A and B are shown apart, each in its own frame.
Chain A
């Protein structure tokens, strides 16, 4: 599943494009929090791990919730 497929290919019709954008947004928010955590004394690896965990939990969850909403009966 390439990036082009997600945005413009067959996966787009499942709502993957919107879902993927949400995933990227959550990763950005996670990155901002991770940077703040670093400033309060957290180890850099722990901060990076937080960003990764947040993206893989909340990000992926929001992505699939979006797909569920996108595929709702219309």
Chain B
């Protein structure tokens, strides 16, 4: 039986980039399939232009994952065939997942938990699990943006961090990075970042989209300039060999494949709820397929170019092979020891802050949208409560005290140490698990054919009928294999009580808070 539901509620929702969003239809009738329960939907704002949506998603995807996480992971894995492996996994797993999240948001027009709830009651638990995981990710992600803010400040002033004789960003990059970690300046950076995120989210994001349209191409020009500058250096060939030379043995390294999957989710903002939230503001019959491909490739080309720049620069500065969580913050300034380098450094790190803030806004927006949908909170209340919680959650990642290294390799700083551990679990386990279960719910419980139909409804090009097996079988199997490799590879090298308890703390936080939010009475 075909049932019909009328949109009657004209409640105005303020969504990201709301200046570019309008009600698509003041009174719209939705025809729903017979197997779908009757839904009384509120009128929802929609993106006016298609490019507005594409740029907003691009702003969400392209962030520190490109200039920090990509060089970090490639350097740890030893470079080689990683780019090719990443592209293969992007095609088989990354893009199908992005498209599925777009379909989820645009079809059900809700945040992640609300949309999954309409497929299966347990879907809401998964949705909240995802958003608690995203909250932890946002907490340490903003600390990394704080690093970039500190670098921007010190680059323009040229000041040393630790007294007149201390290291500056241009004289001793590793020394500067360590001194920064061991000072409360990171906490100051975190406060500044959260103030910016709060102001933008609270007062609306008017102008952000236009800023993305201007500043992202500018950032791209800076990255391309740095890639060419790196290529012009005498040791560039060493960086290129490290980054691009495919070694057959490395092709068979399962770490490469599993990291490619988890990194693609981190970079594409998949499994975080942000893509679903943005797609929920798409008009009905909005284009999805080409938008998924284009935004994923915009993000990937940026990362590829950033890699060309950072590894040629690192080869020249002598940092090649010294992979680690702080690699990018040591390698990038190494390329700025040139006339006018302080200006270039200031612009680069300011851009890095901008890239990070646009991504952080989308992550906060994913949580805010879900909370507003479930509890009917006004936006102001949701933004104040959530930003305060996330800021406080980020403070432990700024701790500047030293911790004796249980492995005896030298002392470590608490903040970075915690960040490294939680990044490992949130990215490798949290995002991968959430995405796997989302794909299972969407492709098997809801139906792969429905995903295909929704994507083809207004797509620039039609996906063939066999594509449903990509979302039903190939992508989930790819994720399962990646997860198996991650588990076989082992947990974070357990060497202290913190490394043992961190995964327990992470999973306990995700499950307990997700269960509480799931069972709480809401209005949706």
- Could you tell me if A68 and B297 are in contact, using CB atoms closer than 8 angstroms? no
- Could you tell me if B237 and A41 are in contact, using CB atoms closer than 8 angstroms? yes
Residues of A within 8 A of B301 (CB): 57-58, 61
Residues of A within 8 A of B237 (CB): 37, 40-42
Residues of A within 8 A of B300 (CB): 57, 61
B79-87, B358-366, B386-394, B478-486 - interface stretch: B79-87
Complex CA distance for A46 and B298, rounded to whole angstroms: 23
Complex CA distance for A67 and B237, rounded to whole angstroms: 36
Q: B461 interface residue, CB < 8 Å from A? A: yes
What's the nearest-Cβ distance from chain A to residue B237, in Å?
4
Summarize A's interface: helix, strand, loop or mixed.
Answer: helix
- Could you tell me if B83 and A49 are in contact, using CB atoms closer than 8 angstroms? yes
Complex CA distance for A52 and B460, rounded to whole angstroms: 26
Q: A14 interface residue, CB < 8 Å from B? A: yes
- Could you tell me if A49 and B460 are in contact, using CB atoms closer than 8 angstroms? no
Q: B502 interface residue, CB < 8 Å from A? A: no
Q: B465 interface residue, CB < 8 Å from A? A: no
- Known contacts A37-B240, A60-B297, A68-B294; decide if A46 and B87 are in contact (CB<8 Å): no
Contact with A along B137-170 (1 / 0, CB 8 A): 0000000000000000000000000000000000
Residue of A nearest to B247 (CB): A45
Complex CA distance for A16 and B460, rounded to whole angstroms: 11
Interface size on A, residues (CB 8 A): 26
Q: A25 interface residue, CB < 8 Å from B? A: no
Residues of B within 8 A of A14 (CB): 460-461
Interface size on B, residues (CB 8 A): 23
Residues of A within 8 A of B9 (CB): none
Contact with B along A38-62 (1 / 0, CB 8 A): 0011110111011011101110110
Complex CA distance for A34 and B300, rounded to whole angstroms: 20
Contact with B along A17-33 (1 / 0, CB 8 A): 00000000000000000
- Could you tell me if A46 and B461 are in contact, using CB atoms closer than 8 angstroms? no
Q: A64 interface residue, CB < 8 Å from B? A: yes
Q: A4 interface residue, CB < 8 Å from B? A: no
Q: B244 interface residue, CB < 8 Å from A? A: yes
- Could you tell me if B84 and A52 are in contact, using CB atoms closer than 8 angstroms? yes
Q: B323 interface residue, CB < 8 Å from A? A: no
Residues of B within 8 A of A58 (CB): 301, 304
Summarize B's interface: helix, strand, loop or mixed.
Answer: helix
Residues of B within 8 A of A42 (CB): 237, 240-241, 244
Residue of A nearest to B289 (CB): A64
- Could you tell me if B84 and A45 are in contact, using CB atoms closer than 8 angstroms? no
Residue of B nearest to A41 (CB): B237
Complex CA distance for A12 and B449, rounded to whole angstroms: 26
- Known contacts A56-B87, A57-B87; decide if A67 and B460 are in contact (CB<8 Å): yes
Contact with A along B452-492 (1 / 0, CB 8 A): 00000000110000000000000000000000000000000
- Could you tell me if B290 and A53 are in contact, using CB atoms closer than 8 angstroms? no
Set B240, B293, B297, B304: member contacting A46, Cβ < 8 A: B240
Complex CA distance for A64 and B287, rounded to whole angstroms: 13
- Could you tell me if A49 and B87 are in contact, using CB atoms closer than 8 angstroms? no
Residue of A nearest to B81 (CB): A49
Q: B324 interface residue, CB < 8 Å from A? A: no
- Could you tell me if B240 and A50 are in contact, using CB atoms closer than 8 angstroms? yes
Q: Which of A14, A61, A71 has the most CB of B within 10 A?
A: A61
Contact with A along B427-462 (1 / 0, CB 8 A): 000000000000000000000000000000000110
- Could you tell me if B245 and A64 are in contact, using CB atoms closer than 8 angstroms? no
- Could you tell me if B460 and A50 are in contact, using CB atoms closer than 8 angstroms? no
Q: Which of B243, B298, B301 has the most CB of A within 10 A?
A: B301
Q: Which of B236, B298, B460 has the most CB of A within 10 A?
A: B460
Residue of A nearest to B460 (CB): A71
What's the nearest-Cβ distance from chain B to residue A66, in Å?
10
- Could you tell me if A53 and B297 are in contact, using CB atoms closer than 8 angstroms? no
- Could you tell me if B297 and A43 are in contact, using CB atoms closer than 8 angstroms? no
Contact with A along B291-323 (1 / 0, CB 8 A): 001100110110010000000000000000000
- Could you tell me if A67 and B246 are in contact, using CB atoms closer than 8 angstroms? no
- Could you tell me if B293 and A50 are in contact, using CB atoms closer than 8 angstroms? no
Residue of B nearest to A36 (CB): B231
Complex CA distance for A5 and B294, rounded to whole angstroms: 23
Within 8 A of A (CB), among B59-104: 81, 83-84, 87
Set A11, A49, A54, A56: member contacting B245, Cβ < 8 A: A49
Residue of A nearest to B243 (CB): A46
* Partner-B contacts on A (CB < 8 A): 11, 14, 16, 37, 40-43, 45-47, 49-50, 52-54, 56-58, 60-61, 64-65, 67-68, 71
Known: A37-B237, A43-B241, A61-B301. 20 other contacts (CB 8 A): A37-B240, A40-B236, A42-B241, A46-B240, A46-B241, A46-B246, A47-B240, A47-B244, A49-B81, A49-B84, A50-B240, A52-B84, A53-B304, A57-B297, A57-B301, A61-B298, A61-B300, A64-B290, A67-B460, A68-B294
What are 8 residue pairs bridging A and B, where the CB atoms are less than 8 Å apart in the complex?
Answer: A40-B236, A40-B237, A46-B245, A49-B81, A53-B83, A58-B301, A64-B294, A67-B290
User: What are the 7 closest A-B residue pairs judged by CB atoms, nearest first?
Assistant: A46-B245, A41-B237, A61-B297, A46-B244, A49-B244, A57-B301, A71-B460
